[in-house]
Structure 1
Amino acid sequence: MNSTSTTADQGAADRPATFRDVFAVAEFRVIFASFGVFMIGETVKMLALSVLVYERTGSGLLAALAYVTGFLPHALGGVFLLALADRWPARAMMVGYDLLRMAMVAVLAVGAMSPSAMLVLVAVVALFGPVSNAARTALLPEVLHGDAYVLGRSLLSVASGGTQVAGFAVGGLLLGLVGPYGALWLTAVTCGLSALLVRVGLTRRPARIHYAPTTDKPARGAIRETLRVNRTLLADRRIRGLLLAQWLPGSLLVGAEGVAVPYAADLGPGASAGVLLMAGAGGMLVGDLLVGRFVAPARRERWTPWLALLLGVPMLAFVARPSLVPAAALFAVATAGFAYQLGLARRFLDAVPEGRRGQAFGLVSTGMMAMQGLAAAGAGALSEVLAPGIVMALAGAASATATLILWPVLAPAVRPRRSAPVAG
């Protein structure tokens, strides 16, 4: 290859991928569309189930549990079942989970179960949620390559936030038109549609890890295998550092979201926590879109620690108890820093063994959800003894401190070589 073509290849590699590049890939369009349908259905299901449980029991506590029951088992599924994401073909895993959800929602819509039994059913099915999510995430680098993979991840993050907003709007409309049971039946339709899109639109790929009775490596149960590989991944210093870098700075900031309601109440009449939360969601979406689409790959990686620092620093101003509009602006600027994770995307992909991508990506999601829950709970506890503005500033300080500690991991270095495969 002559020097001119080499220079051209390097220039192309350093240019950010475009939306046209990403959506030109038919399989990504299927993943994107099915994920959007999935998220709308999940949001409508949670809303309808919460309303239904409240109507039947009159209990605010049970209604709240109904709203979060689908998420609570996520950590358990991530700890004990993630090996399935690599041991089963991705398409089969995603279709199977959609069909399982469809059957569950149909049973709920019949209305024959008690509220407690409904919650148990939703929790059991949700155990397999992180496995399906991990299969989808691990499939992305097989469909999109180079910087298109990073932009594809950014678009899925944007779709997650946007479809949740759409799901709340659609869910509220459906509840008014057809009631919670009708909304659940329509949710079952979204499950079937998602399964159909994946089954028809994605190519069948074999599982990444195979176990056969004739090999010298005995088959292991999913729970034992998940625990073993989780330990192996966490024992790798490079992978562990990248996991902590993805978990801590953003998760600690979530503590500030956890006290948005008392902060708004503390500002007085006319202040709405919804304004703060929408500003936070908007800042995150805009940050992901701008950094993912318009910042060159090499520059995006150089910006990673600075974007992570952006998460925490604006929140320090909440010590001064800013009014609603400045507070919303600060929150939007801070959450734009979540785009730092895009700078870690390819580095993490390079660091994990190809045969364990599903479990590795699932571990990222599981750890993030667990730490966000802990951060929100901790902030809520602190708000009982400290002013909400002080708690939000402390959340920002904790995020910034974590960024400074993890700076050597967040700062780009020589791209790590791919790890040797984890032993089967």
Structure 2
Amino acid sequence: MLRTIVGVKGATFGEVFAVKEFRVLFAGFVLLVGGDMIKMLALSVLVYARTGSAGLSAAAYMAGWLPYVFGGLFLLSLADRVPPRALMVTGELVRALTCALLAFAGLPVWAMLALVLATGVFSPVFMAARSAMLPEVLPGDAFVLGRSLLNMASASAQIAGLAAGGAFLAFAGPSGALWATAGLSVVGAVVLRYGLPHRAARGVAGAGRGVVGRGAVRQTLGVNRRLLADGRVRGLLLAQWLPCVCLAGAEAMVVPYLGGQAQAGVVLAAAAGGMALGEFAVGRFAAPELRERLSLPLAVLLGAPWLVFVAGPGVGWAAVVAFLAVGGLSYQLGLQRRFVDAVPEEARGQAFGLQSAGLMTGQAVGAALVGVLGEVVGPGYAIAAAGGAGVLVALALARVLRPTPASVSV
């Protein structure tokens, strides 16, 4: 049975996986993340092989994430205007077609990057449809555990995708790896199409006067303004964005700090392990009320351990620090239920898309800013500065991160 804590029903991972629709969403998500890792790695290698430019290779690796800014600003309303299953299946098919063209068409480098950027503009819409469907499939505390499982799956699928991408590159080359990603996307489309029931679009009937009937761009801008004008929603968005911006800055300096990809890989793998363990421990063993009360100390934990880098730790201690710090990412589990409660149901897809787009954009900005700082003061001090900024941000957001009695009760 579900346990009841202050009116909130606590779920278990077993109960979450017992829901067929969640199993389908989970499988599709794993295929998506793993396929994207293979695609970005293969595209980066393909561009480097064609041009010999490390800069263009890095640009190709990041090209899949850049369109989140544009899509998040102008297109997110589609996540509420179109039935979610249709959007998710379309996203998989677009990804499959993109990878097939990259693998087969012999496009010049500029055309490959343009294709990835153009098709990637809709990625935040497809992801928003998936995220917004989760609380419909998993009500109450089960939604929070579902998010935890997807976060753990994301870390695992990224590692598995990079490993599989390396294997495909070794045996079949970049084109073979891209064909493999196309195949995974087709499988994902089939899983979603036949595993999920049809659900009507949420619509925007309650999103605000004058919003209904607008075009997608005008509607997206209007609803984004309304969401950000709501103090409760804005605070929860900032609480989900800003600590992660500081974390991204610290992680971006790991490679230059250690001076070697192999050593950096050990530290980043430890970080992924800390994330997975933190999500599991907080999701599985913390009751709903406790999970929300842990948000503030866990957000502080996200930044505090990085301060050790002022002492210049070696790879072993750096891995321990990364493991402890990134385990603090589970602070977000305590915000999920309140975020769902705060946003209008008819604009839920756009709200989740805005959260994701802001997070992606903020992490890129954080990595860039700390990178500039690292050029001035050195990587170790830059990592420590990012950690210190993370602690200050968490304390500044304490009123949001620390739940009030009203936010805990249901």
Under a length normalisation based on structure 1, what TM-score does the superposition of the two structures give? Answer: 0.92
The residue number in structure 2 matching 1:23 is 17
**2:374 corresponds to 1:383:** yes
Conserved? CA contact 2:298–2:329, under 8 Å: yes
Which of 265, 274, 280 is equivalent to 1:274?
Answer: 265
Conserved? CA contact 2:306–2:387, under 8 Å: yes
The residue number in structure 2 matching 1:192 is 186
Compared with structure 1, are the counterparts of its residues 111 and 327 closer, same or farther at alpha carbon in structure 2 (3 Å cutoff)? Answer: same
**2:337 corresponds to 1:363:** no
Distance 1:389 1:128 in 2: 37
Which of 136, 142, 146 is equivalent to 1:142?
Answer: 136
SS in 1 for 2:375: coil
Alignment deviations for residues 144-195 of structure 1 (CA, whole Å, 9 cap, x no partner): 1111110100110111111111111111111111111122112111111111
Percent of aligned positions that are identical? 52
What is the deviation of 1:10? 3.3
The residue number in structure 2 matching 1:283 is 274
Conserved? CA contact 1:264–1:271, under 8 Å: no
The residue number in structure 1 matching 2:102 is 108
- Please, which runs of 5 or more residues in structure 1 have no aligned partner? 419-424
The residue number in structure 1 matching 2:303 is 312
Conserved? CA contact 2:4–2:10, under 8 Å: no
Read off the aligned partner of 1:351 and give its amino acid letter.
A
Distance 2:298 2:160 in 1: 28
Conserved? CA contact 1:109–1:185, under 8 Å: yes
Structure number with larger C-alpha Rg? 1
The residue number in structure 2 matching 1:421 is none
What is the deviation of 1:239? 0.6
Considering only aligned residues, what root-mean-square deviation do their CA atoms show, in Å? 2.1
SS in 1 for 2:184: helix
Alignment deviations for residues 4-39 of structure 1 (CA, whole Å, 9 cap, x no partner): x9xx97359656422210110000000000111111
Compared with structure 1, are the counterparts of its residues 365 and 182 closer, same or farther at alpha carbon in structure 2 (3 Å cutoff)? Answer: same
What is the deviation of 1:414? 3.1
Conserved? CA contact 2:249–2:367, under 8 Å: yes
Matches within 5 A, 1:2-81: 10=4, 16-81=10-75
**2:118 corresponds to 1:127:** no
Distance 1:276 1:31 in 2: 30
- Please, which runs of 5 or more residues in structure 2 have no aligned partner? none
Distance 1:22 1:92 in 2: 24
Distance 2:349 2:195 in 1: 20
The residue number in structure 2 matching 1:324 is 315
Distance 2:239 2:62 in 1: 26
Under a length normalisation based on structure 2, what TM-score does the superposition of the two structures give? Answer: 0.95
SS in 1 for 2:294: helix
What is the deviation of 1:262? 1.8
What is the deviation of 1:387? 2.4
Distance 1:210 1:363 in 2: 16
Compared with structure 1, are the counterparts of its residues 9 and 101 closer, same or farther at alpha carbon in structure 2 (3 Å cutoff)? Answer: closer
Distance 2:261 2:178 in 1: 35
Compared with structure 1, are the counterparts of its residues 27 and 379 closer, same or farther at alpha carbon in structure 2 (3 Å cutoff)? Answer: same
Distance 2:377 2:204 in 1: 53
Alignment deviations for residues 248-293 of structure 1 (CA, whole Å, 9 cap, x no partner): 112212111111012112xxx8981112211111111110111011
Conserved? CA contact 2:247–2:303, under 8 Å: yes
Distance 2:211 2:252 in 1: 47
Distance 1:9 1:20 in 2: 14
Compared with structure 1, are the counterparts of its residues 23 and 270 closer, same or farther at alpha carbon in structure 2 (3 Å cutoff)? Answer: closer
Distance 2:39 2:303 in 1: 34
The residue number in structure 2 matching 1:301 is 292
Distance 1:297 1:341 in 2: 13
Conserved? CA contact 1:36–1:159, under 8 Å: yes
SS in 2 for 1:385: helix
SS in 2 for 1:208: coil
